[in-house]
Structure 1
Amino acid sequence: MEWKGRRQSDNIEDRRGTSAGPGGMGRNPFGRSGIQIPMGSGRRGGGLSIGTIIFLVVVYFVLKMMGIDMLQLLGEGQMQQQSGYEQSTGTRPSSPAADEMTAFVRTVLAETEDTWNGIFQAEGETYEEPTLVLFSGQVSSACGMASSASGPFYCPGDRKVYLDTDFFQQLDQQFGASGDFAEAYVIAHEVGHHVQNLTGVLPKFNQMRQSMSEAEANQMSVRVELQADCFAGIWGKYTEQKGLLEAGDLEEALNAAHQIGDDTLQKRSQGYVVPDSFNHGTSAQRAKWFKRGFDSGKFSSCDTFSGAI
């Protein structure tokens, strides 16, 4: 996929290196502990004596006369410590690879914005762009706490897509779905859920499943997920029309859709499948609906709620 040098979205919230829990610093997602500043000596009061304060003032002025500004040195040391802390916690990308991955995610998100802004505008509607949250380890959302093990997800409560980019490594190494367009498909699928939220599909589903059995809810969930795959396919079509696809890109997305089908995942993890527990669709279904959206590029072709899927 030809993505470098294109517009990058500003709708990114980078929470990597921050606490996922409410209040306090919490445990760093990278497993590093914060540095605590000692406050006092442990004795009652814990303050400095008058004599000590006078001594420090005298030392300061003596050093000042010698051309040494301790306040400036302390300030520079604090700035260096803060910069090092930001790099160690992931608040800023600490490697060229991290920089490039962030740029890739921002670019793909921008491409989805262009696609859906155009589609909604053609229908006389306004597309409300979602925010994509980058996190590491675990994250707090309006839908509750989630860990990286949950995979990428969309939360309709705050209209945000949540992504730990380490999932892309898992997609490649564990699921055998490599390639930048496979990664882009994952993002476009979650944005597809946002489109469903804006068009009323998700609110209606959440209301209906309260009166459904588990099996019925799973069946309806499959249709919801396949429509998001179809919407991702529509985005893929618009990306192709811009001339951004390279040879093999479509195959990367179709392979990714196949590798994360319910039947394939269950066979890999437990050696057999339980169709009643499917909630995303089979490998064949996921690839089929992505391809349908890609071939047509039309919103109307993604009706997964009528007839067989």
Structure 2
Amino acid sequence: MRLDDFDPNIDVGDQRGRGGGMGFGGGGGGGMLLGLLPFVFSRFGCGGVAVLLAVVFFMGGGLPLLSGIGPAPVSEVGQTPARTGAGGRTSAQQACTVDAASKAACDAFTSANNSWKALFAQAGQPYKSPKLQFYGGQGQSGCGAAQSAMGPFYCPSDNGIYLDTSFFQELETKLGAKGDFAANYVMAHEFGHHIQTLLGTSDQVRRAQARASRTEGNALSVRLELQADCFAGVWGAANRNRLEPGDIEEGLTAAQAIGDDTLQRQAQGQVVPDSFTHGSSADRMRWLKRGLDTGDPAQCDTFSGVN
């Protein structure tokens, strides 16, 4: 995918170098994940372990669309990290040029930000940009600890997208989702959670979850995540002239790789639909493609029961 260089005015923070990461083979977050498994197993059994494996890849929250509605989430870098100044913000030029993965993340962040800013302007709605926060291994967010085992996530408390770029290596090597568009889809998905926060969707759903059973709460979480997938597709559609052959296939492969059923099957050899929090592989692919095909946020209403 041919993206322009990042906007040097984006809000970027960099926590890399503040604490050691816990490795997983080549330096991802699996060590931390393995450390959490005994606790999760003791509390929730095999089903809980499977849910953890699903949750580590994407966190965030997100009903209403761009039709007039207003506003807990959640490898070591080879070069010297940028220093974060007061308030957690650092120079985008510093943070975004630490390595190739950081540059790619900032380019994708800028593209998503510009695209959604334009969509909100067309709808006559106010828009607020999120911030991008890099960390390595572990860090802090407005929603609590940031850990590599959680994967990229969005925190509505501080409107931040949190990213340990080693996830992209794991996405390719551990999950088989290769290519730049697969990584861009990850960023666009987290950006989708920011859009849900701006629209008030996240708060509405969290209130509904507080009154719901665990199974009902999981079902609401799935709808949030599938909408974020669809919003990721809307971003892709808005940048269709920048797509290259194979990009869409890369995105769909990534969506398939992180479906709850696929992760559960790999983890425990069986699928427990009631424990899904992000959606099946087929559903994630279908909603990403709906966004790509329509380019219309109004077509991303995962709460209407339309499949």
> How far off is 1:139 after superposition?
1.6
| Cα deviation, residue 14, structure 1 | 1.4
How do 1:117-196 residues align onto structure 2 when only pairs under 5 Å count? 117-196=117-196
2:82 counterpart letter in structure 1:
T
- For the Cα contact (< 8 Å) 2:218–2:276, is it kept in 1? yes
Q: Residue 212 of structure 1: CA displacement?
A: 0.8
Give TM-score, length-normalised by structure 2: 0.75
Q: After TM superposition, give the deviation of residue 89 of structure 1 in Å.
A: 5.5
Do the aligned partners of 1:9 and 1:107 also contact (CA within 8 Å) in 2?
Answer: no
Map of 1:285 onto structure 2: 283
Q: Is the 8 A contact 1:8 1:103 kept in 2?
A: no
Q: Which amino acid aligns with 1:165?
A: T
Q: Is the 8 A contact 2:108 2:187 kept in 1?
A: yes
Deviation of 1:206 after TM superposition, in Å, equals: 1.1
What CA distance in whole angstroms lies between the structure 1 residues aligned with 2:276 and 2:20?
35
Instruction: Please name the residue that 2:107 is paired with.
Output: 107
Which letter does structure 2 place at the counterpart of 1:287? Answer: M
Change (3 A) 1:306 1:254: same
* 2:189–2:228 Cα contact (<8 Å) kept: yes
Of 81, 93, 100, the residue aligned with 1:90 is 81
Do the aligned partners of 2:146 and 2:162 also contact (CA within 8 Å) in 1?
Answer: no
Q: Would you say the 8 A contact 1:30–1:136 is kept in 2?
A: no
Superposed displacement of residue 147, structure 1: 1.0
Contact 2:97 2:103 in 1 (8 A): no
1:225-264, aligned counterparts within 5 Å? Answer: 225-240=225-240, 243-264=241-262
Q: Return the letter of the residue paired with 1:197.
A: T
The amino acid across from 2:209 in the alignment is R
1:221 maps to 2:212: no
Q: 1:246 to 1:157 in 2, by over 3 A?
A: same
Structure of larger gyration radius: 1
Given that residues 9 and 110 in structure 1 are in contact (C-alpha distance below 8 angstroms), is that contact kept between their aligned partners in structure 2? Answer: no
Gaps of 5+ in 1: 19-26, 32-85
Aligned-pair distance for 1:99? Answer: 2.4
CA RMSD of aligned residues (A): 2.3
The structure with higher relative contact order (CA 8 Å, sep 6+) is 2
- The residue identity in structure 2 corresponding to 1:228 is A
Report the alpha carbon displacement of residue 8 of structure 1 after superposing the two structures with TM. Answer: 5.4
* TM-score relative to the length of structure 1: 0.74
Tell me the SS of whatever aligns to 1:13.
strand
One-letter amino acid of the counterpart of residue 204, structure 1: Q
Q: Name the SS for the 2:239 alignment partner.
A: helix
Unaligned runs of 5+ in 2: 24-76, 84-92
Give the distance between the partners of 2:305 and 2:20, measured in 1 at CA.
48
